[in-house]
Amino acid sequence: MPEIPPPTYPPIPQSPKIPSETQPLLPSSLPPPVINRSLSNPYVASSSLTTSVAPDSINTNNPFSSDIPSSIVFQRIEANVPNGPELRTSALNSIRRQKRISEQLMTTQKGSQTSESLISQMYFDDESPTSCPILQCQSVIFSPSHAGHMQGMNEGVQHLGVRAIITSRRLIFVDSTKNNQYTIRKTRLTGDSIITPFRKGETYETMSRITDDLWFKPLPLPTITGVEIYTSHRSEASQHVANRVAPHWLISLLIAMIGYLMGGSGVYEDQTVSIWLGFVAPTILIVLSVYFYIAKAQVKFYNSVNSVTKSRDVRIGIYDPIHNMPMYISIKIEDSQPLHAIFQWCKELQNFSPRLCGTDDPLILL
């Protein structure tokens, strides 16, 4: 049997170093800020199964913010027009009206079905989800386990924002993505009028585009051949220890300046006292201030920026019925998924997979 290469995991991203001259000085009495340097999700969660590239911005002051050219056009829509506020409000009302129309068209296509309702219809009569939580996957990559099987198939087919569900009969992967995109652009219309002609460069087209994609990948539990977990966590806490000039020099200098002022203003009636307190003593204090500035120091502590980094990966060996070949699934777990939930999910997968819990003999794939 050919040897399967060992898994390779991406390295944990290194923490970027901030130049020391730009680091803010935070007193040690204040709690230091903590930065999460883990790989962020390239999407947001819309529901338990559905993700989106960005939150829906239709009810914001600038629904076109996700599209840079459209956002620039919308921000300049009031420039050099006599009815700028009215034109801006009309553009907002137009895109919101197009959003309602595009939703109606989407409902007509899908028949009011959501990803959740469609997935629930795919369960068998004797099938039910297990008690373990849904695994929230940042990315899922299906790859052939042998290089010779890669002909005619794209290596590393990747899906983002996937949810993995274990049922009593299958392991189900769901990639449900729903995105809303709003654009506005300048355009030109025909059918001009002599009485009310179109003002040049002040005609716009608003567009609402909704995309709703669903990928459903069920795998019978007897086809699961193996599972492994790789977790890596790192935390960094740092502090600045600074040796600063002690403030004694400033005190000595201020007293010396006061002595010079009092000696020069004639406060002391006795000439000898005036010489000693108005000149000799301040001069000695000046010398002492120079000595204190050079020879005296004190230690101060300042908090720096702390950071945490985590990486959770799960690899599953399977026999894919579609491609009729052994494959492995590389899963990168979302940063927000609790660690105990990941291990519970993997335990349930082993418990319900007959070849992993010892019910059936291991599947030997050549």
pLDDT for 312-350, tens place per residue? 999 999 988 887 888 889 999 998 899 999 999 999 999
Q: Are 43 and 52 in contact (CB under 8 A)?
A: yes
Question: Residue 140 to residues 10, 34, 158, 230: CA-CA distances in angstroms?
Answer: 14, 29, 6, 15
- DSSP, collapsed to helix, strand or coil, labels residue 167 as strand
Domain boundaries, the chain: 36-235+306-352, 247-295
Residue 71 reports pLDDT greater than 50: yes
Residue 29 reports pLDDT greater than 80: no
Taking the C-alpha atoms of residue 258 and residue 120, their distance in angstroms, rounded to an integer, is 86
Q: Are 239 and 303 in contact (CB under 8 A)?
A: yes
Query: Across-strand partners of 218?
Result: 172
**pTM for this one?**
0.74
pLDDT for 135-152, tens place per residue? 999 999 988 876 544 444
**Which pair of structure tokens corresponds to residue 235?**
């935390």
Taking the C-alpha atoms of residue 178 and residue 173, their distance in angstroms, rounded to an integer, is 16
Amino acid 65: pLDDT: 93
Average of pLDDT values for 71-99?
94
Residues in CB range of 104: below 8 A, 6 or more apart: none
